[in-house]
Structure formats: structure tokens, C-alpha cells
Chain A
Amino acid sequence: MTTTLIKSSKEKKRFKRIQDQFTKSMFLLSAMISSLMILVIILFIAQRGLTPFMPDYKYGTQDLFKFLFGMVWRQDQAIYGVGFIVINTLISGFAALILAFPIAVLTALFSVKIAPKKVGTLLETTIEILASIPSVVYGVFAVGSIVPMIQTIAQGFGIQTAGGSSMLAVILLLAIMILPTITSISITAIKAVDEDLEKASLALGATTTQTNFKIVLSAAKSGIFAGAILGLGRAFGEATAVSMVAGNKMFGPTLDFFDITRTMTSTMLAGLKETIGLDYDIRFSVGLVLMVVILVSNLSINLLKQRIGKQHA
């Protein structure tokens, strides 16, 4: 009697272990699938994007050096230089981040810690709605309001613009687009801060404002920077809305905020559906460069985050 009982409990344990193993491998499988997707995408883009530089490319081998550092992009003359486009993309992306980041973090802090509960919830909902607006809608908004506004401002300074299409328009548009992304992730991060930390700070005699800025924000640092990385990713990756206001300059880099610009995504998108041959393949090369740019920017933001952490520690 006792032996069978023991046996059945042993069997139960074994069954549980198998169940556990099964669940574990299911998780592993889904993790594998999602990470494999990245690999498949990179491999596919790389395979197409590298062919123009191979010696046996059927539309004439491109010079990799000229491609990476070229300062002119003219499909009609088959001149493809991505160098100035990288610089333009970096300038507009980071400028948008610099504009949006403080506003986003302060908004998050306000809605979680300072505003009355109801106002806070209302703000959060508004921001979530903003984050879910499709980019083409932002593009239409930018063409209809940001672009004419910039034209007016430029006229006030006596500067002639291309009807308002400019790098400044791209930056403002991107700042508006990435604001909700950074804000909503910062809100989550600030909400997750341990209340005991705040209480300790207040008990030590710090004011609420001191606590909010020195304790809450530095404790939520990781999440806030994750928001910045996502926001920057969106800024670099936005194509539809940007190509509507950028003006797509054929040479560069653009350093004047009122001058037209060209970003990597707008370059990839323009006429994609109608083109063939080298002009089609080279867009994959631009995509590859864009992925490298995003990777390097994310790494440098991470470095910045660690530095800021050290200062506070």
C-alpha cells in the first residue's frame, strides 16, 4: 500500500517535471522564432543590399567607398552616395530627440507624481491616443500646418524656403511623433519606482520637487532611456511622413535648418514601387546602412545612460 503511494507521488513528480520541461521548450521555441526573424531580415537585406558591390553585379558594380561617403544622390545619373544622407538622418533624429526628450520626461513626471489623479489619467490616455496615430496622418498634419508655419517664420526672417519643406519641418514633425512614445514609456518607468525610496527621501527632509527630480527620475533612469532609444528608432525609421515634408535634396549634407533635406528612409521609399535594377537594389544597401546607424546610436545612448548613472551614484 505504502509503496504504491510513494510510487504514484514519484510518478506525479516525474509528470510535473515533464510538463515543466515541455513549457520551457515552448518558451524557448517562441524566443527562437522571434530572434530568428531578426536574423532572417538581416540576412535578406544584406543579401540584396550587398550585391551592387559584388564584382559580378549585372547592372555594373558600385564602388563601396563612393557609396558610403558620397555626397550626391542622383538616380538619373546613377550617382549613389549615402554619406550626406546618413549625416542628415542623424541630425534630424537627434535634434528631434533633444526637443522631445525633456518635454516627454517632464510630462511623465507631471502626470504620475504632480497632477491630481484624474488629470494624470486623462493625460495618459491622451498620450496613448497620440502614440497610436498612424504616421501618414502625422504627415498630412505636417504638410497642412507645420510646413506653412515654417514658411511664415522663414519669411519673417527674410529667408526663402521651399514652401516650408525643410529640415526644421522634419525635426518638428519627428519631435511630435516620438513625444508620445517616450512619454508613455517614461510613465511606466516612473510608476515602477519603489515608493519606499520616495518616502525615505521625504523623511530625510527633501522637498517633493527635490525627491521627484533626484530620486524618482534617477530610479526610473533605465526605463526613461529605453523610451529615448525607442523614440530615436522611430525618428530614424519614419519614412512616409518625413518624405512628405523633407523636400528630398539631391546633395548635402544639410546644415541650414530652413534648407530642404533627405533622410535614409525617404530615399528608400521614393519611387520604390516603380523602379527596377540597380536603383531598386541600392535601396537595400541604404537599409543596411540605416540598421547600422540605428545600432550604433542605441549603443551610444546606452553608454550615455551608464555615464549619467555614475554621476548620481
Chain B
Amino acid sequence: MKSFRLLIIALIFGLTLAACTSSTPVEPEATGVTGTINVYTRDASSGTRGAFEEFIELEDKLTVSAIEVTGNGDMAVKVGEDLNGIGYVSLTTDFAANGVTPLTYKGVVASEENVINGTYELARPFEMVTRASGDFASPEQEQLVLAFVDFLLNSVEGREVVFAEGGIVDVEAGTPWDTLKANHAILNQDVSTFVIKTGGSTSVEKTLKAALEAFQALTNVQFEMNHTGSSDGFKRTLGAEKDSANGVDVGFASRYFKSEETVNLGAATGPYAMDAIVVVVNDENTVLSDASKELIFNIFSGSVTTWEETVE
């Protein structure tokens, strides 16, 4: 009786152990992927999801059967494990290591080069504009803001921190800050009482904060970020709200400025980085290699639900 019970217990242990080791994945069939498309998405507070849905015009239309993942890395891992999966990640993701294949968008390969030259369309610029020359709180404030803009746009150090936070920018082409610094006489005096105010797009916050912190470490200047959305970037530097309590020194937009936003009136303007999103599928998936906006919209909104439908 006792040995019988021992045997049962040993069996239970054996089963649990066996369950832990039998994890060799089944080799997928060479004929391609069939069946339901598993749509992966980020949680609703993700900036990447916001940008993706904006590109595809998917806001509020995402299929209810989408699978929510917890982050960019999680997305890459999950799609890499799911033969039927499709998802989207930022361009800085290591595709091969996660077992996912990036899709070309309208025939253009997702690469930093194509993002910077503007041919890859699942991308957007992080645009910047300052107040008009002479419209700052003081001439010193203006010189200081222009020094920061120079740091953000042109210095190696500024581009490095922006790149580290996921902004796409050519770090190598920058100029060392030590060289640029010489053009800004204001930095020879104590600027620790000055406050640079920024506003506009919330998507730029991560990269901008990193740049502001790097600039603060070099100059001791203070900063104040109050970001509410891309449309406020122009409004609070050159537009209707520039002289109200909401006025800021530098405004940002995570899209190209519109023609009615007359940013050329600002003392300085231009994009400081690009943001790009790549649609990915499992690397065993040979059904899709290129995606059109329409197809991605149909898949993510749930009107195309099987891989068979995507090739028709």
C-alpha cells in the first residue's frame, strides 16, 4: 500500500517535470501560414500604439479580438513565437533576434535611411519651433533657447540622447558640442536662474526630456515641460496662446507642421528626430512581405481575419 502511494507521488512529480522540458516547438509547414490572423497590439496608453493607429487611421476601430502585450519587447517576442501573429514595433527593435520579419510598407524597406529621406511612410517627424525673434522674455532668454535648440538639433551629444530614447537621427553627422558651444556667448555667464519652457506634442516628451536633462547637466539651466498635444506646439509659441499663461519658448509637434502654422516666423524651426513604426510578422511567415495601408487597416480592424484572405 505504502509503495503504491509512493509510486503515485513519484508519477505526479515525474509528470510535472516532463511537462517542463517538452518545449521543442513543432516545425512549421513549408507551405505557408494558414488560418486565423492573430492581431497583436500595445495597451491603449502606449505612444507607439497611438502613432500606429494615427498612421493607419485606426483610432477606435481596432478589432476586439486583438491580443494586448505589455511592451515593445513583449510584442516582438510574442509575434516571434506566434506563426499566425502580426504586430507593430518601433524601428529600433532587433528583428532577427526575436524571430520576426519586418514588412515593407508600400514597397519601401523600413530602414533609418529611408525614414530620414522620407520614403518610408510609417514614420513621422518630431518638429520643433521657437517663439519669434525678439518675442522672448529677455534677449538673454532668446540666446539661451537658441543655444538649446542648437544642442538638440546639431550636437553629437544631443542627438545621442535622443537616439537612445528611440528617436531616429543621424548621430555621426552631428557636431561636437564643444565646437557649437563657442557660438553661444550666453553660456559663459551663470544661467542657472533661467527656465526654458517647452510644450506641444506628448509623443516627444521622452526624447526631449533626455535632451533637456543632458543640456541641464552641461549648463545648469532650468526647464519646465508642459505638453498637451501637437496642435499646441505652434499655438503656444507663435499662435493664439503665445502671450497667455500657457506660452512656451519651444513648441513641438509629432507631425509635419501644417501650412497654416507659419513656423518660419519663429527664431528657429525644424525636425530634430524621426519616429518610425514597423509592421512585423513571424519570420516563418512567407504569406506577406509587403503591406499597404488598406491591408493593414483591414487586418487590424478585423475585416480580414485569415491569412488566406490576405493573398487574394
Which A residues contact B (CB, under 8 angstroms)?
72, 74-77, 103, 106-107, 110, 114, 143-145, 147-149, 151-152, 155, 160, 162-165, 172, 207-209, 243-244, 247-251, 260, 262, 269-271, 274-275, 279
Contacts and interface: CB of A to CB of B under 8 A. Distances in A.
Q: Which 8 pairs between the two chains have the least Cβ-Cβ distance?
A: A163-B82, A75-B44, A248-B68, A271-B45, A271-B43, A275-B45, A163-B81, A270-B43
B38 A149 contact: no
Nearest to B5: A209
Interface of B: 1-2, 5-6, 9, 12, 16, 19-20, 22-26, 35-36, 38, 42-47, 53, 59-60, 62, 64-70, 74, 77-79, 81-85
B67 A260 contact: yes
Given A274-B46, A279-B44, A163 B12 contact: no
A152 B45 contact: no
Which of A145, A162, A247, A270 gathers most chain B CB within 10 Å?
A162
Contacts of B12: 103, 106
A256 B16 CA distance: 22
A86 B54 CA distance: 32
Contact of A152 (B1, B24, B53, B59): B24
Contact of A75 (B5, B36, B45): B45
A207 B1 contact: yes
Contacts, number: 104
Nearest to B69: A248
Contacts of B45: 75, 271, 274-275, 279
Contacts of B38: 160, 162-163
Given A151-B82, A249-B68, 14 more contacts: A75-B44, A75-B45, A76-B60, A110-B9, A114-B2, A143-B77, A149-B22, A162-B85, A163-B38, A165-B78, A209-B1, A243-B70, A250-B66, A270-B43
A271 B78 contact: no
Contact of A74 (B47, B64, B74, B85): B64
Nearest to B77: A143
Q: Is the interface of A mostly helix, strand, loop or mixed?
A: helix
Given A75-B43, A251-B64, A145 B23 contact: yes
Contact of A249 (B67, B74, B78): B67
Contacts of B5: 114, 209
Contacts of A72: 64
A123 to B, nearest CB: 10
8 contacts: A76-B59, A107-B9, A209-B2, A248-B43, A260-B67, A271-B46, A274-B46, A275-B44
Contacts of B78: 162-163, 165
Contacts of A248: 43, 67-69
A163 B65 contact: no
A270 B81 contact: no
A243 B74 CA distance: 11
Contacts of A77: 60
A248 to B, nearest CB: 4
Contacts of A274: 45-47
B25 A148 contact: yes
A144 B9 CA distance: 27
A247 B67 contact: yes
Contacts of B62: 76
Contacts of A151: 25, 81-82
A290 B142 CA distance: 53
Which of B12, B44, B78 gathers most chain A CB within 10 Å?
B44
A175 to B, nearest CB: 9
A163 B26 CA distance: 12
A79 to B, nearest CB: 10
A114 B6 contact: yes
B2 A145 contact: no
Given A103-B12, A165-B78, A274-B47, A247 B68 contact: yes
A214 to B, nearest CB: 14
A152 B82 contact: no
Which of B1, B43, B85 gathers most chain A CB within 10 Å?
B43
B308 to A, nearest CB: 13
Given A77-B60, A148-B81, A271 B24 contact: no
Given A74-B64, A209-B2, A250-B65, A244 B25 contact: no
